[in-house]
Structure 1
Amino acid sequence: MKTLSLALAAGTLTAALAGALSDSSAIAAPYKHVLLISVDGLHALDLANYVAANPKSSFAALAHTGIFYPNALTSAPSDSFPGFVAQVTGGTPKSTGVFYDDSYDRTYFAPASDCKGEAGAEVAFAENIDVDSKRLDAGGKPGDFRSQIDPAKLPMTLVNGKCSVVYPHDFVRVNNVFEIVKAHGGHTAWSDKHPAYEWLNGPSGKGVDDLYALEQDSLIPGTKVKTTGSFKAERDFDEARVKAVINEIRGLDSTGAHPAAVPTLFGMNFQAVSVGQKLPKAGPGDEAGLVGGYLDASGAPGNGLAGQLAYVDGALGELMVALKDNHLASSTLIILASKHGQSPIDPATFQPLDDDPYTKTPGYAFHIADDAALIWLKPQDRVKNLAAAQDYLEKSSKAEGIAQIQTPNALALAYQDPATDSRTPDFIATVNPGVVYTSGSKIAEHGGANANDRNVALLISSPSLKSASVPALVQTTQVAPTILRALGYNANELQSVKLEGTQALPATPF
């Protein structure tokens, strides 16, 4: 079976930038701005291949004045929420308590329950909490998350005996870089795929001055198809948010309607590549004959994915030009990363399976499965069901493509003890490379712990940096302390950095 290795990613980029690698030059002063870009789904291999094939591209330009980390790993689980939480807090689910964008808390209650009944509830922070998820604006005003999120759809919890709704920012247990920047008097902004990214406000509730959130799962106008069902629609979705970031670079708010300080920390995620990896074929507005995913184990993209990569490259060029035109290029550190990878790269390994058998686990309360499965048991009777649940999962391993079952004692070592922690799953089932839990509407997924899920692109760039490739194994949690160091702040102001001992990225000159 062909699989992507970390060494392959490292070797490919080295070849792509042969002769250009050297030690980084020193920077005299901290940066005034950090522009954080997450290209969701982008593997280290994708970046290496693109630079090699397109030496005059925006990706290549960033690499030629940047430090590349070919052996960077995102979080495990590799879902969007923990993947991005890692980048901005410096923490894993061990300290953040965030395992997935759709998870479970043993102490929460269902939306609109008034905290009645038994404790234990699904916690889904995606399109499901929108006022109207069929609309691009989520039924509210972009930039005003409270107009986009329906509190009646939020989970509930008891706080000092009072039943209260749980906003996304209440969910993350630790602070983040946006809050630190705000505490030092800086201006902050971010744009992402759901209003649920309001969690970036952090426990203080005040982390992001300008949150420009559109709804990725909205319907394409005139159709009943979601934005994720079209290569073009997803590019248009990203481009609307690129314009918001350019407005911010120009000294306006995200909407372009009002003057605002250029953010100290700002950025956005791109969804085009992720959709290009997952979408099997052309949708509304697409050219006929487009196909998503990869052609082989080397990461050669299908024509649909190739178009998405080219779009993101062009959009990065737009952002770079805007920085230069507004005299911000030399004072801005660009960090290009990814919340998650996507599995599989090799189409020959693709194995679509049904995740319904997980619902039959003894003592079952909830599970989430993309290309791994996180399983929670009902807290009221979990102890008596643990052995039977483990036995059931072991017997289901072959049918469900399970490579390894992480049991409660193993999860207690990696994260927190599920017997005492309200968030840690009772079991996590990792899968054989290529297994995807799907009804057939997608050809790749993320969330698991295989190399294709976790080995993501990570590059820091500014005009004052010399090109370098650092082969050391690094984690995307190291992005957070690197951001603070670049801005001249103490990384230990981040709670997860102190709790988990997270270090800044190596070989940085600041």
Structure 2
Amino acid sequence: MRKRLIAGALGGLAAAAVVVPMTAQAAPATPAARHVLLLSIDGLHQSDLVRYAAAHPKSALAGLLRRGTSYANASTTSPSDSFPGLLSMVTGGTPRSTGVYYDDSYDRSLAAPGSNCTTKGTEVLYDETIDRDSTKVDGGGGLDPAKFPRDPAKGCAPVAPHSYLRVNTIFEVVKKAGLRTAWSDKHLAYDLVNGPSGKGVDDLYTPEVASVPASGTAGNDDLKVTGIVHEIDGYDHTGAHRAAVPAVFGMNFQAVSVAQKDPAGGYQAGGTPGPELAEALDHTDASIGRMVTELGRQHLLGSTDVIVTAKHGQSPIDKSKLKIVGKDVLPGIVNAVKPGLVAQATQDDGALLWLTDQSKAPAAAAALRKQAAKAGIAKVLVGKDIVRRFGDPRRDPRVPDLVVITKPGVVYTKPGSKIAEHGGFNPEDTHVALVTAGPGFRNGTIARQVRTTQIAPSILTLLGLRPDALRSVRIEGTSPLPR
């Protein structure tokens, strides 16, 4: 029997440092696959996948469903941001063990970018703003360390995204086994997936999506797709240098997510995709078909497992339920308890709040609950509720002091800027698509609840490696997907 962490017994920092004894998860004697292709269609709900496959029986997604395993009740992380959503798939952990809550968060132990580290506590922002020039597809030549937070405990050194992650990744485990790794994503900040070693991904390709307008998102996805095809053909993502086909590789698709949020896009009645979203789904499906076709052309289909899922969903699907609340509302309520009380407010369709005075957390929670109707609040987590889910904010410098779960349809933003968002805790944010197809999976549907954290140990198992080589798997007791 595995001995699991008792909920609330340890703070997040302590949990991240403690390995939970558990029965060793042995690797299979014979690997089920030689390659795993992991694809995240950001924003894709299970309902989107089922609807699309039914309407397009000859599509690539329908083909994967016919020959693979569909997980009808799969959930991503809460909060449902891109960073924790992807890390769930490549570490096997939630923010409790990874220490990564959002691409825009807060750390009480770090200092601000460019500072001399005399003052601790800073926003930690890992998005296009840390590029040298986010208007360029290559980020202007890479990440700018001057824009990183600094660590007073390490001589005020800049903290790169990969160094911020507390646990190792599948890429580090696979590479240590002597196999090749690759990944493609939307920002240079996805250096994150290299893991603490900084060297987990042999071929990391991150064409900056912020360098193109929303209308160009599909074209940005195409760059990554072409890179994947080159890797299938036995080259690096540029197609210029010979390399072994990666044992684990993949990418995210961004076009569907952008179309879901665009005021001119989104869904029609009954959850039917509108024209812009339908076009994004078609384009993404054609891209997956291109990869599957290339795997077949290179005689790799029989040795490659394809996993399609999503870092996050998107809410609301029904545009009539959209309620815009300004981003000044929550901080205003909390700062009325004590001026300057909000150290950081990360808000989308949920909110994480860090306070300058943690003793005021109960009073701030009470103030938020009192104005729940105005602020679109369904529930406020504080104290023991935070500790049970994430760890103790008094012991872990990254755990938020307050978490706001919104009423369905509430988005904190400017009026007219978007019609949906992710990052929250409601089902439309967290209930994502998940289908696997290849030699390691049988055809069928699994109805019981699974989590995207189970993808990471599944990938290692498929490749004949030990799942418990992942630190988050040991800490959180994550099991592979049922097959």
- The answer as to 2:219 corresponding to 1:236 is yes
TM-aligned CA deviation for residue 30 of structure 1: 2.1
Q: CA deviation at 1:95?
A: 0.7
Is structure 2 residue 268 aligned with structure 1 residue 295?
A: yes
Distance in 1 (CA, whole Å) between partners of 2:481 and 2:440 is: 17
Written as runs of structure 1 = structure 2, the 5 A alignment for 1:324-335 is 324-335=296-307
For 2:370, the equivalent position in structure 1 comes to: 395
Task: Work out whether 1:366 is the aligned partner of 2:341.
Answer: no
**Normalising by the residue count of structure 1, what TM-score does the alignment of the two structures yield?**
0.86
| Residue in structure 2 matching 1:272, options 255, 259, 262 | 255
The count of corresponding residues between Structure 1 and Structure 2 is 449
SS at match of 1:50: helix
Deviation of 1:495 (Å): 0.6
- Give distance in 2, aligned partners of 1:397 and 1:217: 34
The equivalent position to 1:476 in structure 2, one of 452, 458, 464, is: 452
Q: Which of 396, 407, 422 is 1:421 aligned to?
A: 396
Counterpart selection for 2:188 from 169, 187, 195:
195
1:351-397 residue CA offsets vs partner (Å, 9 max, x unmatched): 1111212223231101111000100001xx322x2233222212231
1:6 corresponding residue in structure 2: none
Paired residue type of 2:146: A
Offset at 1:261? 1.1
Helix, strand or coil: the match of 1:429?
Answer: strand
Q: Which residue in the other structure is 2:144 paired with?
A: 150
The question of whether the paired residues in 1 share the 8 Å contact of 2:33 and 2:440 is answered with no
Paired residue type of 2:92:
G
Paired with 2:111 and 2:365, the residues of 1 have a C-alpha distance of: 26
Q: Mind listing any 5+ residue stretches in structure 2 that lack a counterpart?
A: 1-27, 336-340
| 1:303-330 alpha-carbon deviations (Å, 9 max, x no partner) | 0000000001100000001111111111
Q: Output the CA distance in 2 between the equivalents of 1:391 and 1:473.
A: 33
Structure 1: 5+ residue stretches without partners = 1-25, 141-147, 221-226, 282-291
Give, in whole Å, the separation in 2 of the partners of 1:457 and 1:387. 37
Change in Cα spacing, 1:464 to 1:150, as seen in structure 2 (3 Å) is closer
Separation (CA, whole Å) in 1 of partners of 2:139 and 2:57: 39
Question: Which whole-Å CA distance do the structure 1 matches of 2:303 and 2:474 have between them?
Answer: 28
The answer to whether the 8 A contact 1:68-1:470 is kept is yes
1:464: how far off? 7.2
> Within 5 Å, which residues of 2 pair with 1:312-351?
312-351=284-323
Given the alignment of the two structures, is residue 260 of structure 1 paired with residue 218 of structure 2, yes or no? Answer: no
Q: Secondary structure, in 3 states, of the residue corresponding to 1:398?
A: helix
Note if contact 2:183-2:204 (Cα within 8 Å) is conserved in structure 1: yes
Which region of structure 1 is more displaced relative to structure 2, 396-405 or 385-394?
385-394
Deviations 1:401-426 (A, max 9, x none): 00000112211111110111111100
Q: Which residue is 2:179 aligned to?
A: 186
Residue deviations 1:85-142 (CA, integer Å, cap 9, x gap): 11111111111111111000001111010212x21000010001000011122101xx
Q: Give SS of 1:152's match.
A: helix
Moved more, 457-466 or 94-103: 457-466
- 2: CA distance, partners of 1:29 / 1:75: 28
- Equivalent position SS for 1:399: helix
Q: Do the aligned partners of 1:27 and 1:464 also contact (CA within 8 Å) in 2?
A: no
Name the SS of the counterpart of 1:260 in structure 2.
coil
Counterpart residue identity of residue 443, structure 1:
I
Equivalent residues in 2 for 1:45-56, closer than 5 Å: 45-56=47-58
Give 1:29 deviation, angstroms.
4.2
Q: Distance in 1 between matches of 2:70 and 2:32?
A: 20
- 1:460 maps to 436
- The DSSP-based 3-state class of the residue aligned with 1:321 is helix
1:249 equivalent among 232, 236, 242: 232
Please say if residues 227 and 238 of structure 2, whose CA atoms lie closer than 8 Å, have aligned partners that are also in contact.
yes
3-state SS of paired residue (2:317): coil
Say if 1:260 and 1:305 are closer, same or farther in 2 by CA, change over 3 A.
same
RMSD: 1.4
Q: Is the counterpart of residue 496 in structure 1 residue 479 in structure 2? A: no
Counterpart position of 1:126: 127
Q: Secondary structure at the match of 1:330?
A: helix
Q: Secondary structure at the match of 1:352?
A: strand
Provide the secondary structure at the position in 2 that maps to 1:267: strand
- Counterparts of 1:61 and 1:28, CA distance in 2: 26
Task: Give the CA deviation at 1:27.
Answer: 12
Amino acid in the other structure paired with 1:497: V
Is structure 2 residue 117 aligned with structure 1 residue 115? Answer: yes
Where do residues 63-74 of structure 1 align in structure 2 (5 Å cutoff)? Answer: 63-74=65-76
Give TM-score, length-normalised by structure 2.
0.91
Q: How does 1:74-223 map to 2 (within 5 A)?
A: 74-116=76-118, 118-140=119-141, 148-160=142-154, 162-218=155-211, 220=212
